[in-house]
Chain A
Amino acid sequence: MALNDNRGYEYFAGWHGVPLGWCQHHDPLFLPWHRAYLYWLELALQSQVPGVTLPWWDWTKGTTIPAAYTVAQVDGSDNPLAKAEIKVFGTAHQDGWPTETSRDPGEFPEVPGPPYQQEWAHAMQADNYTDFSQRIWTVHDTLHVWVGGTMSEVDFAAYDPVFFAHHANVDRAWRIWQSAHPGANPPADILDVSLQTDPAMKVQTTLDVRNLGYEYAGTQSTVPGSA
């Protein structure tokens, strides 16, 4: 797809940092904004491939980035989920901007790596939205910085496709916590806030994923049929 086609990956990647800078971090809008972001991206993907959904990276299990995002080649071609050129929507490349996605997981040794089971459990123990939001954004921050490279910079993180698998898991965490705490909403004074996305979405609209047409599977048990 052409770089300046607003149905393309570069356009959506650009919402988060360079060039548009719409993301919300370290405040009560963090979870609603990123839920809206995933929602609009998933619809854009489904416009290209009906029925496709964003996967989540469950970083409470395992110690590495999922293989789908690290294998160098898929079906004989370079894997764009592993590494890709960074092209910025609507603007010329500036000196100092990264030219391709990069990662260096574990090479900042002071940053603990996954699994983040304990941090997840601590977040789930929160009894109000504010505490939950702070606890989950803290582990979210840790994973970004642990992955390193492009993912550790707000301005470019979303150019790495693993960003969206990470955020799907953050969104999943919110959904699971919401299920255990019905009615535990963000502060009332932000419910009417319009989140800066294209198009905009109110915080209130993000509160129930079922109204956005998706859900996260909990467990799955399958038994053979009669055939």
Chain B
Amino acid sequence: MQRWTSQAIALPPRTSWQRADLEFEGVEHDGPSFVIHVFLNNADATEATPRTPEQNYAGYLTVFAHGDCWGDVGHCDIPGPVSAFDRRPPHPLVPFDATLEISGPLTALPEDTSEFTVTALAFNKAGDDTGVFRFKQLTLLTYA
């Protein structure tokens, strides 16, 4: 299992939003398939931590990933367009954004919460503890 905990994320006043999403940006999906379980303000969460509201459990995301590369050298490198007229579809391994709605779990934090952390526990079937869940950055998006 791989554990990742974010820096503190500012939480806008409760009255200013109705919906809140965590957006994991630039998620890599070139390795084995994996799942992440997300907790809020619970940096001590482990695989044994109950996935319950009492533990500030916020939900899960599963990523159906590509696994091994079966092409020749360079097959799974992500190329840029070769010209302004390159109309080929995006390379299948282009990183993507994964969204987890956390409106309920975020609202359940104490009323005076002004910032919070996100802890993601990432699992693949091989039980790796590094390199399972790779992404560029995490953004909290709120909607009025």
Contact = CB atoms under 8 A, between A and B. Distances in A.
Interface of A: 17-18, 21, 23-27, 29, 94, 96-97, 108, 110-112, 122, 131, 134-135, 138, 140-142, 144-146, 148, 152-155, 157, 193, 196
Interface of B: 27, 29, 33-35, 37, 47, 60-68, 70, 89-90, 92, 94, 96, 98-99, 101, 123, 125
Contacts of A94: 70
B35 A110 contact: yes
A32 to B, nearest CB: 11
A108 B66 contact: no
28 contacts: A17-B66, A18-B70, A24-B92, A96-B68, A108-B125, A110-B37, A110-B123, A111-B62, A112-B60, A138-B62, A138-B98, A138-B99, A141-B33, A141-B61, A142-B35, A142-B60, A142-B62, A144-B33, A145-B33, A145-B62, A145-B64, A152-B33, A154-B65, A154-B67, A155-B66, A155-B67, A157-B64, A193-B89
A167 to B, nearest CB: 12
Main secondary structure on A side of the interface with B:
loop
Given A138-B98, A145-B33, A193-B89, A25 B64 contact: yes
A196 B98 CA distance: 24
Nearest to B88: A196
B67 A27 contact: no
A140 B64 contact: yes
Nearest to A111: B35
Contacts of A26: 27, 29, 96, 98
Nearest to A30: B96
Query: What are the 10 tightest A-B residue pairs by CB atom distance, in nearest-first order?
Result: A26-B96, A141-B64, A142-B62, A110-B123, A144-B64, A153-B67, A145-B33, A154-B66, A141-B62, A152-B33
Nearest to B61: A138
A21 B123 contact: no
B70 A152 contact: no
Nearest to A153: B67
A93 to B, nearest CB: 11
B123 A96 contact: no
Nearest to A118: B59
Nearest to A139: B62
